[in-house]
């Protein structure tokens, strides 16, 4: 039998209503190992919050509507059913309607350092960003926020609509997993500024944009100034913006490669250079510090949230940053 129906049994002293409810196959979502790991990250994070202002997303009751075969049974008003023996659904109005876009750099520089990405222990920058994005998607969905994903390198490789359904969540998780497994593969250098300008042009509605990138680029048209201009464009379109600068602190900040000579290969251009790390370490660290200070200062002036995301530090800081920003929107 299809649909939702009940059996009524009456006696002299008692009236019982037995509801026979169908299994809603469309609401049963199966996630792969990738999705389950990301979901566990969120559940562990929320468990650790204890007394937190982030425990839920409040909605207000708006009205009832009559239940029709095929409707979800999730919001049936059982108290009203007990009084009237008729099925009604509660409809709610969300207090806010935050539309979030997660933008992930999948250029070849994000494949550093070498890692299997099969679990949370052995991640490179790309793996870290994709798992963090998946965890954010689960958290966004839990908060009843609509979300979308953009993956880019020298061009946009994938761009989704912004929706809030469970089915859309499962679709986005699958796209992130495909990127992790190389089925959506970044092949070139990063063209971050062009991608961000495109997002700003196509998303006129106020929303939240969350960016994961390592700020590595080699295109003649791409430099820090052009990237800052594109981020400013996003902000001027009344978007709130969070930038996560993804890096491996051990290697990309501390330059901890030991003292023996190494051959360094640029993952985006293929250029090679041989040097002894200890001889170049101080110069590299000064260059890196200058770049980071420039980025921080510019973004602060634009009113954009900036966060350094060390791939060895886990995901809690990522999720906390989103929730703090979410409360201010």
Percent helix, strand, coil in the chain, to 5, is 40, 25, 35
Q: How many domains does the chain have?
A: 1
| pLDDT above 60: residue 291 | yes
- Please give the pLDDT value at position 115: 74
Residue range(s) defining the domain that contains residue 320: 99-328
In a domain, 232, yes or no: yes
What pLDDT, on the 0 to 100 scale, is given for residue 224?
Answer: 86
Q: Is residue 28 part of a domain?
A: no
If you ran DSSP here, which 8-state letter would residue 181 be given? T
Is residue 9 one of the residues assigned to a domain? Answer: no
Residues forming a β-bridge with 244: 212, 307
In angstroms, the CA 211 to CA 174 distance is: 19
Q: Compute the distance between CA of residue 224 and CA of residue 196 in angstroms, rounded to an integer.
A: 13
- Residues with Cβ < 8 Å from 202, sequence gap 6 or more? none
- By C-alpha distance, which of 241, 262, 316, 296 is closest to 47? 316
Query: Can you name the residues that pair with 15 across neighbouring β-strands?
Result: 10
pLDDT tens digits, 218-255: 655 568 889 999 999 988 878 899 999 999 998 888 88
DSSP assigned state of 25:
G
Kindly state the percentage of the chain with pLDDT values over 70. 81
Taking the alpha carbons of 228, 229, 230, 235 in that order, is the dihedral positive or negative? positive
Inside any domain, residue 78: no
Task: Quickly state the pLDDT bin for 150 (edges 50, 70, 90).
Answer: very high
What does the block give as tokens for 169?
């969540």
- Region 321-327 average pLDDT: 83
Token couple for 29: 């979502």
**What CA–CA distance (Å, rounded) separates 190 from 57?**
36
**Domain-located, residue 29:** no
Cα angle for residues 187, 281, 191 (degrees, 5° grid): 25
Sorted by sequence, the CB contacts under 8 Å of residue 257 that are 6+ apart come out as 251, 277
Q: What's the DSSP call for residue 253? A: I
Quick one: which of 318, 303, 300 has its CA closest to 211?
Answer: 318
Task: Report yes or no on 184 lying in a domain.
Answer: yes
**Can you name the residues that pair with 308 across neighbouring β-strands?**
245
Q: CB neighbours (10 Å) of residue 211?
A: 25
Task: Examine the pLDDT at 93 and tell me if it is beyond 70.
Answer: no
What is the mean pLDDT of the segment spanning 130-135?
96
CA atoms within 13 A on the CB side of 184: 25
Q: Tell me, what CATH number does 169's domain have?
A: 3.40.50.410
């Amino acid at each position: 039998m299809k649909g939702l129906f009940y059996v009524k049994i009456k006696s002299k002293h008692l009236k019982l209503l037995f509801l026979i409810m169908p299994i809603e196959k469309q609401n049963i979502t199966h996630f792969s190992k990738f999705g389950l790991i990301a979901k566990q990250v969120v559940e562990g994070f929320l468990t650790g919050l204890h007394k937190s202002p982030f425990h839920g997303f409040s909605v207000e009751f708006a009205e009832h509507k009559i239940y029709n075969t095929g409707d979800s049974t999730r919001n049936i008003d059982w108290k009203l059913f007990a009084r009237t023996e008729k099925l009604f659904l509660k409809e709610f109005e969300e207090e806010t309607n935050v539309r979030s876009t997660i933008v992930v750099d999948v250029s070849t520089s994000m494949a550093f350092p070498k890692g299997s990405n099969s679990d949370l222990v052995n991640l490179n920058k790309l793996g870290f960003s994709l798992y963090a994005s998946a965890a954010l998607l689960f958290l966004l969905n839990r908060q009843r926020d609509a979300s979308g994903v953009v993956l880019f390198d020298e061009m946009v490789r994938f761009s989704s609509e912004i929706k809030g359904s469970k089915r859309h969540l499962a679709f986005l998780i699958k796209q992130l997993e495909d990127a992790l497994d190389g089925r959506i593969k970044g092949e070139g250098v990063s063209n971050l500024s062009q991608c961000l300008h495109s997002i700003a042009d196509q998303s006129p509605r106020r929303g939240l944009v969350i960016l994961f990138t390592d700020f590595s680029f080699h295109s003649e048209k791409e430099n820090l100034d052009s990237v800052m201009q594109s981020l400013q464009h996003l902000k001027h379109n009344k978007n709130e913006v969070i930038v996560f600068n993804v890096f491996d602190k051990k290697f990309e900040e501390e330059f901890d490669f030991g003292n023996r000579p190494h051959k360094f290969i640029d993952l985006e251009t293929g250029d090679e250079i041989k040097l002894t790390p200890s001889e170049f370490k101080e110069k590299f660290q000064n260059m890196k510090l200058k770049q980071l200070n420039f980025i921080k200062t510019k973004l602060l002036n634009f009113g954009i949230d900036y966060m350094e995301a060390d791939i060895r530090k886990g995901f809690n800081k990522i999720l906390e940053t989103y929730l703090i920003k979410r409360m201010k929107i």
